[in-house]
Structure 1
Amino acid sequence: MKPYHQISIDECGEPLVPIPTEHFAFQIPHPYQELGAPYHNSKADSPYYLRQGVVDSLIAAQTELQQNYPTWKILIFDAYRPVEVQQFMVDYTFNQIALAQGCEFPVSEDQRQVIIEHVYQFWAVPSLDRAMPPPHSTGAALDVTLVDENNRLIDMGSAIDEISERSYPDYFGKSKEPQKQEYHRHRKILKDAMIAAGFQQHPNEWWHFCLGDQMWAWLTNQNNSGSQFMARYGRY
């Protein structure tokens, strides 16, 4: 159980809608679909869906970004993720780590426990319990980065989904090296645009932002002492 699962959900019933292609860049082909993730069982025909209110705020974040960087765009790496896809990616990540560590299959119970704990530091549990939905399965969480006018990725210092401390948003914040300072500056540009539009950032992932789900409510309450926000988006 994650700390944000203590937050109650008062589902508002907002629909999932496609993210408008004219405003953003997209990761195409989608990396999880390429791996065979089962989106064909989903209520949306692609990963690029969010709740209507989240899309509206994402457009506001793009507008905010272009106040200072008029030729840059937010790139959508991932958005709506059914629980089945969450399970697929947890299993895939588990197997990749096991292979990298030279484990023999089937993995022993002791090894399995160590690896799965590592996986769950960065991937939400693919729970079917409606009180504890994976953030992406609510349609209120998304993974994003930035691209320039030539659709080239802005270097953030680590890849999306990297399972390491380099994924922490402020990992490069105290570095004296010019290149690492630049990574931190890029991450801050992204964060500032998203926060200005009402999003919250995952504490361990520079790319993950949310609005209206349990994590968002929990982080909002943490950042504003005395606040008692509830989640308005549950599992879709």
Structure 2
Amino acid sequence: MVLLNDERIAKIHCVDNKEKILSLKQRHKNILIDETRNQISNKSDLFCYARESIIKKLIEATNYLPNGYQFLIKEAYRPLSRQKKSFEEAFNYYKIQYPLKKDDEIYKVTCEYVAPVKVAGHPTGGAIDITLLKDGIEVDMGTKFNDVPMAPENLTYLYSDYIIDTAKVNRTILIDCMKKIGFANYPTEWWHWSYGDCYWAFLNNCDAIYSATDESEIYKLNT
């Protein structure tokens, strides 16, 4: 399993294709937004914005949803300042949880849950945190969204063997939909999928096409 602290990802070449970052709201009847934001730290009004290709691909992915299912977007774009703060908060949390581990070990554990700023997908507009609804209700995915991966079960890992069969079925639906449209999953988080960022580029042996974008630039382009 390749984590985001892998130096090969930091070396990925990126030429931003300058796609716009736009709102995911009201794009399709089966793409809904969790506007409560009660499970994320992102306070930006752009939390549900994504690159144009991400939006088009998600619309395409709705064709693969079983009857009664919908996508629920928890978070998409995340400002760089928030990404940095989230990493620092997670690092400090794990340092308390694992007092005997060295800082480099804590850094690796932190990368299982939060991306380092240099290679983070959310600030590029190319990553989304997504789950499923069935008949308007969030389905069982084995853990809550944004749960912390904990050994040995690692329930948040996409292919954890320790989740119940119902959750496995629901994850399989999400996996099938997202892979068919070319998204890559970050394997420690069943909800995190990306396209065009450094992690996606590493897995696809190509250059990244989305780089981190400052929040002010998005506002400027959308006014």
Instruction: Confirm whether residue 168 of structure 1 aligns to residue 157 of structure 2.
Output: yes
Q: Structure 1 CA distance, aligned partners of 2:16 and 2:141?
A: 34
- Counterpart for residue 52 of structure 1: 52
Change (3 A) 1:32 1:112: farther
Cα contact 2:54–2:126 (8 A) shared by 1: yes
Change (3 A) 1:21 1:92: farther
SS of 1:118's equivalent in the other structure is helix
Of 94, 115, 121 in structure 2, the residue corresponding to residue 124 of structure 1 is 115
Q: CA RMSD in A?
A: 2.4
Q: Structure 2 CA distance, aligned partners of 1:38 and 1:47?
A: 7
Deviates more, 1:139-148 or 1:210-219: 210-219
SS of 1:57's equivalent in the other structure is helix
Cα contact 1:38–1:84 (8 A) shared by 2: no
Q: Structure 1 CA distance, aligned partners of 2:68 and 2:43?
A: 35
SS of 1:158's equivalent in the other structure is coil
Instruction: Confirm whether residue 15 of structure 1 aligns to residue 6 of structure 2.
Output: no
Counterpart code for 1:137: P
Counterpart code for 2:209: R
Of 23, 27, 39 in structure 1, the residue corresponding to residue 34 of structure 2 is 27
Residue deviations 1:120-176, cap 9 Å, x none?
Answer: 22211123xxxxx41111100111010111x2111011122222211111102xx6x
Instruction: Confirm whether residue 86 of structure 1 aligns to residue 83 of structure 2.
Output: yes
Q: Structure 2 CA distance, aligned partners of 1:167 and 1:210?
A: 17
Q: Structure 1 CA distance, aligned partners of 2:67 and 2:17?
A: 34
Instruction: Confirm whether residue 153 of structure 1 aligns to residue 138 of structure 2.
Output: yes
- Counterpart for residue 130 of structure 1: none
Answer with 1 or 2: which has the greater Rg.
1
- Counterpart for residue 212 of structure 1: 196
The two structures have a TM-score, normalised by structure 1, of: 0.76
- Counterpart for residue 210 of structure 2: 233
Q: Structure 2 CA distance, aligned partners of 1:231 and 1:22?
A: 25
- Counterpart for residue 68 of structure 2: 71
Change (3 A) 1:38 1:116: farther
Cα contact 1:32–1:89 (8 A) shared by 2: no
Change (3 A) 1:212 1:102: closer
SS of 1:166's equivalent in the other structure is coil
* Unmatched 5+ stretches in structure 1: 40-44, 128-132, 222-228
Residue deviations 1:96-134, cap 9 Å, x none?
Answer: 4456x497xxxx9x776554442222211123xxxxx41
Cα contact 2:91–2:106 (8 A) shared by 1: yes
Counterpart code for 2:73: I
SS of 2:85's equivalent in the other structure is helix
Cα contact 2:37–2:74 (8 A) shared by 1: yes
- Counterpart for residue 141 of structure 1: 127
Counterpart code for 2:14: I
Q: Structure 2 CA distance, aligned partners of 1:153 and 1:79?
A: 18
CA positional deviation for 1:10: 1.6
CA positional deviation for 1:32: 6.1
* Unmatched 5+ stretches in structure 2: 214-223
